[in-house]
């Protein structure tokens, strides 16, 4: 049987299925290119929570986009202020501590 991995003739099924993507933890504090985002409400452990889906690439490989996510109302409030017509743009996603001691995602 012929190997079909990494052949341009075939696409990976998982790339066509909308999932939640990777967590932002691996990108914490790094400059990246933000290509797109969406903000929705999703069920998590029986509660409805704010969900942010982000399409991101490394700055030096802008064509290699990946999906990331955060369950974060604070991040949703920040990215909602961005004009999608101006994307892609450089962003850094950072976890910061609130006055109440909570760790939340923000954008720099």
Encode pLDDT of 14-23 as tens digits. 666 666 788 8
- Answer yes or no: is 66 within a domain: yes
Give the pLDDT score at 102: 86
- Answer yes or no: is 95 within a domain: yes
- Answer yes or no: is 72 within a domain: yes
- Answer yes or no: is 68 within a domain: yes
- Answer yes or no: is 44 within a domain: yes
Give the pLDDT score at 1: 44
Cα angle value 76/26/103 (rounded, 5°): 50
- Answer yes or no: is 2 within a domain: no
What's the whole-model pTM score? Answer: 0.77
Number of domain units in the chain: 1
30-80, pLDDT tens digit by residue? 999 999 999 998 877 888 889 999 999 999 999 999 999 999 999 999 999
Mean per-residue pLDDT, 9-14: 72
User: 20-39 burial, b for 16+ CB within 10 Å, e for fewer?
Assistant: eeeebeebeeeebbbbebeb
- Answer yes or no: is 73 within a domain: yes
Question: Which residues form the domain of 50?
Answer: 22-107
């Amino acid at each position: 049987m012929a190997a079909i991995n990494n052949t341009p003739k075939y696409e990976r099924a998982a790339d066509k299925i909308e999932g939640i993507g990777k967590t932002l933890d691996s990108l914490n504090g790094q400059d990246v290119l933000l290509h797109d985002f969406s903000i929705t409400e999703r069920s998590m452990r029986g509660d409805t929570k704010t969900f942010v889906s982000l399409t991101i690439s490394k700055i030096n490989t802008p064509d290699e986009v990946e999906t990331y996510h955060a369950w974060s109302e604070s991040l949703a409030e920040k990215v909602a202020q961005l004009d999608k017509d101006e994307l892609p743009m450089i962003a850094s996603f950072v976890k910061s501590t609130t006055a109440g001691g909570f760790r939340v995602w923000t954008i720099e």
